[in-house]
Chain A
Amino acid sequence: MVRWQRGLWLFFLPSFGLLAVVLLWPLGYAIYLSFFDYYLGSDVRSFVGLGNYADLLTEGRLWNSMWTTILIAFGSVALEFIVGFALALALYRLHQSAKVFSVLLFLPHIVTPVVAALFLKWMLASNWGFIDATLLTFDIVPPDWLGDPIWAKISVILADAWVFTPLVMMVLYAALQGLDTSVVEAAQIDGANNWRVLRHIIVPALIPAIIFTISVRLMDVFRFFDIIYVLTGGGPGTATETITIYTYQLGFRMLEVGKASALGVITLIVVASLLLTINRVLNSIYRGGDQ
């Protein structure tokens, strides 16, 4: 670094000092705790090595929550991506009125997640919720949206999609606006139909944005907490219990902080490897498309 700018390293101190204290230290502490059998409130904590990890990995509840997480993750991300992409294309097509629509469509995303979850809860609540009240008017007996194990999962996926589709839409719409319109027009003049323009021109140009949205969404979905917490609390039973909800139950309800930390570490490893894989796969597709 150039001599006269060396003082700039000092500029990192406040921020990185802060991060060390409030992020790295707690993180290290969590990893440390994960090796202990430690019930918060009791005075004893005994070192168990990888015991917590072994317990967790051999118990059904972890795997159940893992599958639930994966189901919800892929279900909602797929839904968000398809609907979000369609919406982005529709906005791109409209030009003039797109601005009004984009604001209206974006509203669900900016609402406080807890509040959004409540809005949905009042839609889905049995009997008096909007959907049930409407269906019952026509004498259709609705399913128990939040009480039936399968419907509860679907409801959670829909809720996630309701909140995050606007994000996917916005990012893809922004990427579309960055497209060189002359290329699209040239293809249309050459007689390519909409589908071909989409497949051969628009999608390849959007690959970086697509990689970005999908990885960010998958990463977020593993942190997905507030909406499930409010909507189903993980229930009925453990039907919608994701890893995050399970960790919450372990750590803050049962106060098994050692075991909960171990679960947190496992989550981190899963998320990291998942993201690495996705990035690698999508990147190789991206490069393949280039040639």
Chain B
Amino acid sequence: MSVASIQRKRRRETYLVFIALCAFTFVNLMPLIWAVLTSLKDPKDAFTIPPTIIFEPTLKYHWEVWFENDFVRYLKNSLIISAGTVCISIPAGSLAAYALSRIPRRNAGPILSALFTIRMFPHMLLAIPFFVMGTFLDLIDSYLLLILALVAINQPFTIWLMHGFFLEIPRDLDEAAAIDGCSSWQAFRIVILPLARPGMTVAALFSLLLSYNEFLFALVLTGTNTKTLPVAIASFGGEDITAWSLSAAGAIGIMLPIVLVMLALQRHLVRGLTAGAVKG
């Protein structure tokens, strides 16, 4: 085969791959597209055979779900709980991650494996004691309990992720700081922390996202006062078919901020997802 014919064949293959990927992407995004369409439909357009594709869109239900159905309050709960988690998880986690990146490898190794092991605990096994203790301490339906639970499942991941960022900051800087007169704490605060800020932002966004999306703990530890968005939408949109447009509007609204955060995080996405990969 000549080089030209190989190249022609490759180009044809690439073209086919492109077409196939377009088709797959479209089918794959159908549930999302369908939900967006539903959220803009009046019931008369929502319940039809064949499904209505062309209709007069309305934002009525988006307005209704947020301002006439308490979703603003759930959003507030979600934000308080997510922010609370980040505010505990990131400072504590960054201290540990920094120390982990500076102690000798033979000491850091076992700690890292232990953290990795903790990540695989079934959440259900943690939810039960939290629920029981919460009941005793009368903490069910309080922000604090859910925040603590989220910190528990968040912390190992946070440390893992930030540990990688701290490793990239050369140890020479710690040593230079020590010679210049810094204690470990001063070196961390004045020299290392400002350099770790990008990594900490990424870790914070990831842990924000995790808390915002979390469902199991939110379901069992919150009540009417502290209900978060995922719990609200699950109980709201799950059953009642006549409220389709309304719940679709709610679901889309919950999704939007995450999509924005994720687009911002794109560059770090894979890194966050693979933090904890044993190799690479």
List A residues at the B interface (Cβ < 8 Å).
1, 4-5, 7-12, 14-16, 18-19, 21-23, 26-27, 29-30, 33, 40, 87, 90-91, 93-94, 97, 101, 103-108, 110-116, 118-123, 125, 127-128, 130, 133-134, 136-137, 162, 167, 170-171, 173-175, 178, 194, 208-209, 211-212, 216, 219, 222-223, 225-226, 229-230, 244, 247-248, 251-252, 257, 260-261, 264-265, 267-268, 271-272, 275
Complex Cα–Cα for A73 and B178 (A): 51
What CA separation (Å) do A229 and B21 show in the bound complex? 31
20 A–B contacts from the bound complex (CB under 8 Å): A7-B183, A7-B185, A8-B98, A22-B149, A23-B152, A27-B121, A29-B129, A30-B126, A33-B129, A101-B25, A103-B266, A112-B230, A114-B215, A115-B230, A133-B49, A134-B51, A137-B51, A170-B270, A251-B131, A260-B124
List 4 other contacts, CB 8 Å, given A111-B32, A115-B233: A12-B100, A93-B17, A101-B21, A114-B231
Interface size on B, residues (CB 8 A): 100
Majority DSSP secondary structure for residues of A touching B: helix
In the assembled complex, which residues on chain A have CB atoms less than 8 Å from the CB atom of B216? Answer: 225-226, 248
Task: Determine if A119 and B135 form an interchain contact, defined as CB atoms under 8 angstroms apart.
Answer: no
B170 interfacial by beta-carbon distance below 8 Å = no
Inter-chain contact total with CB atoms closer than 8 Å: 277
- Counting CB contacts under 8 A, is B139 at the interface? no
- The residue from B49, B96, B152, B155 contacting A26, defined by CB atoms under 8 A apart: B152
Check if A23 sits within 8 Å of B124, measured CB to CB. no
Which residue of B has the minimal Cβ distance to A267? B122
Select from chain A the residue with minimum beta-carbon distance to B171.
A5
Asked whether A22 lies within 8 Å of B152 as measured between CB atoms, the reply is yes
- Which of chain A's residues have a CB closer than 8 A to the CB of B44? none
Tell whether, in the assembled complex, residue B49 and residue A137 are in contact, meaning their CB atoms are under 8 Å apart: yes
Contacts of B129 in A (CB 8 A): 26-27, 29-30, 33, 261
Q: Quick check: A33 and B128 within 8 Å, CB to CB?
A: yes
Contact status A14-B92, CB under 8 Å: yes
The answer to the question of B207 belonging to the interface, with a C-beta cut-off of 8 Å to chain A, is no
**Docked CA distance A222–B124 (Å):** 10
Which of B55-63, B64-72, B195-203, B254-262 lines the interface with chain A? B254-262
